[in-house]
């Protein structure tokens, strides 16, 4: 699970790049579940678009010929509400239906043999996280945070919720920690330091710190690959593989 408790911290970017790194180690054996039903971004980030609105959806039973077929994009097996909904279509559903639908997207899928399934969680600490934790055996969670006091506050809520669900927390990754000055290359901090008493680093391990890299906002293009970032995610993927 890759979560944050907050939107806008780059959680989907982290989940996608982690899936790419794992797939470099186990080609064709990595799945990516976009569990954000209300704002699925993974399809767009992979260049997958669906213009037609979906007005009805029947959930197939396990073993049914109508089970979901993952979309294969850049070697990843991807499942997302965004591959069924129109790109500008909102999904409105009650809590019970949401729980059923997210279980459907996770379980009623012909994933094949996977070594890893990366789950991109939605912002907040709502029904989706609980439904997935009850439906699947989750081996670990990575929390994404930015160096802002409010981001750390929301991340602390996410950490508390994951622990209540008995999901092991591998650690946290700090995104947008700094930016390289385009003139001199020096690191420039983007935000003031988070007060120690409000920081999640008192409670979880820092796995890595990522700079703000504008190119990562357009991962559809191979030209945006950042070698330093790839190396960071490759190292993280190696640690996850060893732990598994």
Instruction: Give the C-alpha separation, 66 to 110, whole Å.
Output: 10
pTM higher than 0.85, yes or no?
Answer: yes
Tokens of 145: 């945070």
Instruction: Report all structural domains of the chain as residue ranges with CATH numbers, in order of start.
Output: 2-243 (3.40.50.300)
Q: What is the dihedral of CA 214, 217, 222, 225, to 10 degrees?
A: 50
**SS3 of residue 204 by DSSP:** coil
Q: How far apart are CA 235 and CA 144, in angstroms?
A: 17
**Residue 28 DSSP label:** T
Q: Identify whether the C-beta of residue 190 lies closer than 8 Å to the C-beta of residue 179.
A: yes
Q: Which two tokens stand for residue 152?
A: 């750390």
Instruction: List per-residue pLDDT tens for the chain, 244 residues long.
Output: 999 988 889 999 999 999 999 999 999 999 999 998 888 889 888 888 777 766 666 665 555 566 889 999 999 999 998 887 767 777 766 677 778 888 888 998 999 999 999 999 998 766 788 899 999 999 999 999 999 999 999 999 999 999 999 999 999 999 999 888 888 888 898 888 899 989 999 999 999 888 887 766 555 544 345 666 788 889 989 988 887 6
Query: DSSP E strands: which ranges in 2-83?
Result: 2-3, 30-34, 71-73, 76-80
Terminal-to-terminal C-alpha distance of the chain: 14
């Amino acid at each position: 699970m890759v979560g944050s408790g907050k939107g806008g911290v780059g959680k989907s970017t982290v989940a996608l790049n982690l899936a790419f790194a794992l797939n470099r180690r186990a080609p064709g054996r990595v799945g990516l579940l976009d569990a954000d039903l209300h704002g699925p971004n993974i399809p767009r980030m992979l260049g997958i678009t669906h213009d037609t609105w979906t007005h009805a959806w029947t959930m197939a039973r396990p073993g049914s010929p109508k089970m979901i077929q993952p979309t294969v994009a850049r070697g990843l097996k991807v499942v997302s509400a965004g591959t069924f909904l129109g790109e500008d279509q909102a999904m409105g559903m009650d809590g019970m239906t949401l729980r059923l639908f997210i279980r459907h997207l996770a379980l009623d899928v012909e994933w094949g043999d996977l070594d890893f399934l990366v789950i991109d969680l939605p912002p907040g600490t709502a029904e989706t996280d609980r439904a997935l934790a009850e439906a699947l055996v989750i081996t670990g969670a990575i929390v994404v945070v930015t160096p802002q006091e409010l981001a750390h506050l929301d991340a602390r809520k996410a950490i508390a919720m994951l622990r209540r669900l008995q999901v092991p927390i591998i650690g946290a990754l700090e995104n947008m920690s700094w930016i390289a000055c385009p003139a001199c290359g020096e690191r420039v901090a983007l935000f003031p330091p988070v007060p120690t008493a409000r920081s999640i680093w008192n409670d979880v391990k820092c796995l890595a710190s990522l700079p703000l890299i504008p190119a990562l906002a357009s991962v559809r293009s191979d030209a945006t690959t950042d070698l330093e970032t790839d190396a960071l995610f490759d190292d993280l993927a190696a640690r996850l593989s060893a732990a598994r």
